[in-house]
Amino acid sequence: MSFTQEPIPTTVSERARAQWGLDAPFRHREVMRQWVEGIFTRGDHTGLVSYGTAVELAEYVDSEWVLTLRKACMDKSTDYWWQERFDAVVVATGHYYLPYIPKIPGMLEYDERFPGRIQHSKHFRSVEDFRDKKVVVVGGSVSAFDALHDIRKVSKLPIISALRNPSGAFGIAPFLHPHIDNRSQIESFEPELGRINFTDGSSADDVDVVLFATGYDFSFPFLPGIKSVNNRIPGLYQHVFKSDNPSLAFVGMVTGGFGIRIFEWQAVAVARFFAGRADLPPQDWMEEWDAYRVATRGDGGAFWTLMPDFEEYFETLGCDVLGIRQSTD
């Protein structure tokens, strides 16, 4: 999976080759970083990119966007702040940055009493961190069962899986293993006793690590007017355009597979609209789309999960929404 005109290099790490064979689909993070940077260098567009620059604030003022920017100076002891103005803003920060951990009674107190026990899968680096430890893994999708099957090889057994709802794509099968003790979701923490209670009535004491493999949340601190609700961004048409102000667009705020290809199509749609080559429906139409999706998919993760409707989304975004025309220019 890659951008249409930018194939991902076939370089495979020794570890991936040893574990998955010569046709391993995985690439080392350094290969991916160089690939992303290369997209700009090969097109001689490096002058359009500012690395190491933080967007501290984005405000819509008098029909344009005023961005407050910050960059560390060469001595690293001071920061340089400035403002620039733009006609439009595209937010492509992704949604795999801010870990999502559900609110559970007693968890904050438990974390204060046992610092370091509660962790998130984002920071998972090595199974050695779990060797000979009693572990609870929370979550029902890929990150959770990957962690379970890696950690169980070195941890105390059985490893506990706190599972509310398994992924619709994989079901319960990946969690069924003699070394995995499947429990229901965590109901509460009892910091005084060092105990974790589950909704099935069971409990676990003397746990060394509680690993939350529960996904991520959206975070846009530079856009004070944008707040995520139940892990989704309200008011986006086709998950891309802000219906009340289409000069603000988002790319990559969906999940469910075909990630890079979907991001590419979204980016093309945004580029065509901002270039004046495509139009959006009236605002009330866009708002109706958002309301209908909430009514039919729910106000949560299912809202921004495209699976299994990939073909419908591609066709709608490319044809019905933007009316992409055959062009020779």
Quick: pLDDT tens for 47-91. 888 989 999 999 999 999 999 999 998 887 899 999 999 999 999
| DSSP code of residue 129 | G
**Residue that wins the pLDDT comparison between 12 and 185:** 185
- Which residues 6+ apart lie within 8 Å of 202 measured at CB? 183, 184
Helix (H) or strand (E) holding 286: helix 283-297
pLDDT of residue 324 exceeding 60, the answer is: no
Please tell me the number of Cα atoms within 13 Å of 101 on its side-chain side: 15
Distance in angstroms (rounded) separating the CA atoms of residues 63 and 82? 20
Dump pLDDT digits (tens) for 89-143.
Answer: 999 998 888 899 999 999 999 999 999 999 999 999 999 999 999 999 999 988 9
Provide mean pLDDT across the span 170-183.
92
One-letter amino acid for residue 210 of the chain = V
Dump pLDDT digits (tens) for 10-51.
Answer: 888 887 888 888 788 788 889 888 988 888 888 888 888 898
Q: Hunting for tokens 């707040």 — which residue is that?
A: 227
Q: Hunting for tokens 């407050």 — which residue is that?
A: 68
Sheet arrangement for strand 89-91: 89-91, 248-250, 241-242, 236-237
Per-residue model confidence (pLDDT) at position 264: 87
Q: Report in angstroms the alpha-carbon separations of 20 from 16, 30, 177.
A: 6, 19, 22
Dump pLDDT digits (tens) for 258-317.
Answer: 778 888 889 989 999 999 988 899 999 999 999 999 999 888 778 878 877 888 888 888
